[in-house]
Structure 1
């Protein structure tokens, strides 16, 4: 039985004494080998995709940061943290928010990546978002960096205001935030006056569906068979455990869906399966596209993604709730997504092979990400604050949210702590990036030379 809200808030305020904002905002440098931690992740990925993964991560400081959630998780685990845990995204960087369709076909804006989701101190998500805002802003040569420290404080402020706004609602109404784009534009006071670019991306997202994917990613043979186009090594027909047993795995996946969606899928048959790698951090994991065709000739494209273990450290002993939460990685990701998102893909489900876990979702259904490089400063500023607002609504779903509310309250000291820690951490990211380029590019070149 949960505590009354006033008691939770009181406890949250009390925690400020044992975990003061000043401590929360102080970054403690950690001695560790970035390349060793990254190599631990590489060991579970597909070897032939690793060189391209390296190239993607080498493009910029921001892309490197996106692909190395394990480094920041390590560092966060060794900081002085608040004792308030929540269900967190785990990788709430500014590029992991986007547009997608609700089951009712409304366009939503929300978190859209949950591979690292789990139970962690709530501020981990806020800090990762703030650091990513700094790095993404650094990609713009024409941005004046002077107002950036103030924007970092605004990340904390927008998060706090969102949490306070959520608790003006009843418990049941907090469960139905529904982040429809138009409603969201009206919900955040004075923050989205520069929304033309966002509306352009809305229109683009609304045109994406399975038929559009089929036109772009497939070729119809003379006999009428529709097959995915190859672009090796990124997109490639393979014979492995998943493709050989796709029918059995899809049957197991369907058992995790609502009965109406399960019945809908019974009207489709598998036409083709291809391994298709995406992203930066997940590039090299086992990802697939499945082309399904109905009796009327229409199509549905599902994406299967390997659910990698969260990048927790051996010296970090998870509490009982965390351990239970992560027993099945696909289940962990799906459940976290359903909790944190205002509405989720009805095709979201999971299955497991004998040695690996996977989750499944519809591919590119009215999905689009905001191209941060196309935003001017005012638009970027508004976008960053919007992401922080969304993060607050997501965290408000956790049963500990009342304590978070009491802890952050209306205190600008929380905002300053997030800004201070994030600015100090940037130097750690820069050092890791340089070490990565010196070590990994040389290693990959050596490997390619041996292969040839």
Structure 2
């Protein structure tokens, strides 16, 4: 669903904040906290659903994808957004829809540069983004916090105390956002420097963040060139082979890259399009990353400017959302995919406080794609390296940031009305996370028995 479609839906966005909050309270009366926080098991074959997703991916990359997902229940959870989204679709709902990330697990937040070269912290993956009940994002975040915490060996007692705190952080962030004007909510700009001040981090966490900032400041296209490229036998710069993760291929995208690059340029801002006119394509390579998207068609384009400097763009296949993909009875075609790249780019621009100016999209002959800059001041947290205090702070910061993203939608005031200022909400959402984590463990055990036996 596009942003335009949202404004013509059932919610009349010309209502006042007070009226919208009242609608949220009415929704709570129909679906109380304890109902929203109850997980009702769904009958489905998890391996069958995952097999449908596998059919959309590159066969030669499936073995490594399987190994990555098999590393832990948390890794499995990261790679199976289709399962939770399908399950959530069968649960009681607040009925309050908003723009959501769709895969807001704790590993899908990170650091990146704004167009003004300021370091920001925000959501950073939008492949599953769309318009759905807001609590889907929060529930997925809390389940991921629990699974990641278990993978790190943190004690159950600490995790039981943490999960309501994470929900509380989301709730308080929603409240703070509605102490501001509409324009102020539109310009949050999640700068890391402000984050440090607002979070009152302890010295250990502050030092961790400082180290991340220092690493991010060193990551640009020239650093990528030094790390990922070499000279071929003719002395030309090219991407270094590291098959099967990074390899030169001959397919529709690489054969038509000039035409597709021209189509992509028409979807970016005029100033960015003009900037890109000063670059030419030097090399293209298929480069697979992550867990959930590993196996889809992803590429890197090496661009060289008229002054000899470089820019590296990442091109990712824009598949339908996982839930839709896991239910498809026919092959995915470009006719089905043709608006998926626009969906992802539009949602990213809505949900992030500031987005990559190189964001764009295009449709190929067989697939649809979206484009962004590769590793430009981008950095993420290695969750396995966090001690308890750092992990706790990070989880609550992610929840705070998620609420800011949700407040970009006109129905956000309804969320404010629904959650109120009640700690019972925090406990209910935490209760759901514990129940659903057991479902993930069952699905993970079935996956290991089916794929890794």
The separation in 2 between residues aligned to 1:251 and 1:257, in whole angstroms, is 11
Match of 2:7 in 1: none
1:354 to 340, 349, 365: 365
Q: For 1:218-367, what aligned pairs fall within 5 Å after superposition?
A: 218-221=229-232, 223-313=234-324, 328-367=339-378
Match of 2:66 in 1: 54
2:87 to 71, 75, 79: 75
The separation in 1 between residues aligned to 2:122 and 2:61, in whole angstroms, is 29
Match of 2:29 in 1: 17
Query: Would you say the 8 A contact 1:81–1:121 is kept in 2?
Result: yes
Match of 2:141 in 1: 129
Change (3 A) 1:196 1:182: same
The separation in 2 between residues aligned to 1:116 and 1:99, in whole angstroms, is 20
The separation in 2 between residues aligned to 1:379 and 1:190, in whole angstroms, is 9
The separation in 1 between residues aligned to 2:52 and 2:128, in whole angstroms, is 16
Shift in Å at residue 417 of structure 1?
1.2
User: CA offsets per residue over residues 11-57 of structure 1, 9 Å max, x none?
Assistant: 11111111110100100011110000100100010000000100000
Change (3 A) 1:97 1:315: closer
Shift in Å at residue 327 of structure 1?
6.3
The separation in 2 between residues aligned to 1:337 and 1:364, in whole angstroms, is 17
Shift in Å at residue 140 of structure 1?
1.6
1:29 to 41, 66, 80: 41
User: CA offsets per residue over residues 75-123 of structure 1, 9 Å max, x none?
Assistant: 1011111100010000000000000000000000000000000111000
The separation in 1 between residues aligned to 2:429 and 2:248, in whole angstroms, is 45
Query: Would you say the 8 A contact 2:319–2:337 is kept in 1?
Result: no
Which structure 2 segments of 5+ residues have no match? 1-12, 328-335
The separation in 1 between residues aligned to 2:24 and 2:326, in whole angstroms, is 28
The separation in 2 between residues aligned to 1:354 and 1:275, in whole angstroms, is 17
2:56 to 29, 44, 47: 44
- Taking structure 1 as the reference length, the TM-score comes to 0.93
Change (3 A) 1:234 1:193: closer
- Alignment partner of 1:195: what SS? helix
Change (3 A) 1:101 1:219: same
Tell me how many residue pairs correspond in the alignment: 434
Match of 2:192 in 1: 181
Query: Would you say the 8 A contact 2:252–2:365 is kept in 1?
Result: no
Shift in Å at residue 193 of structure 1?
7.4
User: CA offsets per residue over residues 118-166 of structure 1, 9 Å max, x none?
Assistant: 111000000000000001111223x233121121101111001111111
Query: Would you say the 8 A contact 2:52–2:326 is kept in 1?
Result: no
The RMSD of aligned alpha carbons is 1.8
Change (3 A) 1:269 1:314: closer
Shift in Å at residue 313 of structure 1?
4.6
The separation in 2 between residues aligned to 1:233 and 1:327, in whole angstroms, is 27
Query: Would you say the 8 A contact 1:191–1:385 is kept in 2?
Result: no
Change (3 A) 1:326 1:27: farther
Which structure 1 segments of 5+ residues have no match? 317-324, 443-452
Shift in Å at residue 185 of structure 1?
2.1
The separation in 2 between residues aligned to 1:225 and 1:193, in whole angstroms, is 45
Q: Return 146-155 or 186-195, whichever deviates more.
A: 186-195
The separation in 2 between residues aligned to 1:193 and 1:175, in whole angstroms, is 32
Query: Would you say the 8 A contact 1:102–1:344 is kept in 2?
Result: yes
Match of 2:3 in 1: none
Match of 1:150 in 2: 161
The separation in 1 between residues aligned to 2:326 and 2:233, in whole angstroms, is 58
Query: Would you say the 8 A contact 1:195–1:379 is kept in 2?
Result: no
Shift in Å at residue 357 of structure 1?
1.0
Query: Would you say the 8 A contact 2:52–2:325 is kept in 1?
Result: no
- Alignment partner of 2:320: what SS? coil
The separation in 2 between residues aligned to 1:218 and 1:241, in whole angstroms, is 23
Match of 2:409 in 1: 398
Query: Would you say the 8 A contact 1:107–1:366 is kept in 2?
Result: yes
